[in-house]
Amino acid sequence: MMRVFHRCRFRLSKQAGVSVSLLLAASFSTAVVPVEANFVLGMDVQGQRLNLYEDCEEGSVTCDNMLLVAPDLQRLWHIKPYDKSIDKSPYSVKLYPAKTKHSLCNDGVTPCGFQGYQFEGNGIKGFINPIDKKIHAGNEWTLDGSSVTYKENSTYLPLVSQAALIDSKYTASDKALNKSYQIARNEVRRLYGERMEAGLKQEQIQWIKQRSKECGANAQHQPRTQAEKVCFIRKNDSREKDYFLWID
């Protein structure tokens, strides 16, 4: 659900075990622990997941204690000079300090209308606009950048903590995809013959290669990091819907 006003909440409890506490203290005064209790917004962009977290006192109009957890955005949108060798390395998760942005009232001081979220770090500056569901990001020094549309997603898929949760979701997603593919392949062969079945098989191979290119993967087209597994989960969900087109 789109937010018109931003109301920060104070979390009394943090999940003890996630002490990954994220080595962010150098970036801002109070590190936001990226756990589901602090989760504000999930965004899917090109199969990749971006998560926004906050931890501010209840009733606050503005919030400067926020965190965007995402794959390397410079790499994702090629904001820095492109290096072909980078495609061979795993997608790393980056932490971007963030805060709310408001227009000012007539007195020029008091925050009025909520506009979105600003974030920066790792050589990048950006803005999340929840009204048109766009993320604007640019190089911190040259301001060269791009704008992409995101799809809001309330399903919680962490990128830093709860690795076991992602592993289990990925395993389930992988099994569901393989099962759906086999069912679709058998149905296509039964209804349309071996030639159409071969076409589906060839398309599946090309899709697997494209998924690896967009999400990142090893030579065997297997994900290596949480970020890549989350991307696989999103891609797999979309792919299962495509099988119905072959059957129909």
| CA neighbor of 125 nearest in space, from 107, 106, 152, 101 | 101
Quick count: other Cβ atoms within 10 Å of Cβ 39?
A: 16
Q: Are 35 and 21 in contact (CB under 8 A)?
A: no
- What value does the mean pLDDT take over residues 90-106? 90
Distance of alpha carbon 123 from alpha carbon 136, whole angstroms:
14
Q: For 191-200, write each residue's pLDDT tens digit.
A: 999 999 999 9
Residue 87 pLDDT: 60
- Token pair, residue 76, equals 């994702």
Confidence of residue 204 (pLDDT cuts 50, 70, 90): very high
- Token pair, residue 220, equals 């065997």
| CA neighbor of 93 nearest in space, from 161, 152, 41 | 161
Distance of alpha carbon 168 from alpha carbon 120, whole angstroms:
31
Residue 241, pLDDT > 90, answer no
Residue 1, pLDDT > 70, answer no
Q: For 168-186, write each residue's pLDDT tens digit.
A: 999 999 999 999 999 999 9
Please list, residue by residue across 105-124, b when 16 or more beta carbons sit within 10 angstroms of its beta carbon and e when fewer do. Answer: eeeeeeeeebbbbbbbbeeb
Question: In the block, which residue shows the tokens 């007539």?
Answer: 106
| CA neighbor of 144 nearest in space, from 126, 169, 129 | 126
Q: For 51-72, write each residue's pLDDT tens digit.
A: 999 998 877 788 999 999 999 8
Q: Are 56 and 63 in contact (CB under 8 A)?
A: yes
- What value does the mean pLDDT take over residues 145-159? 90
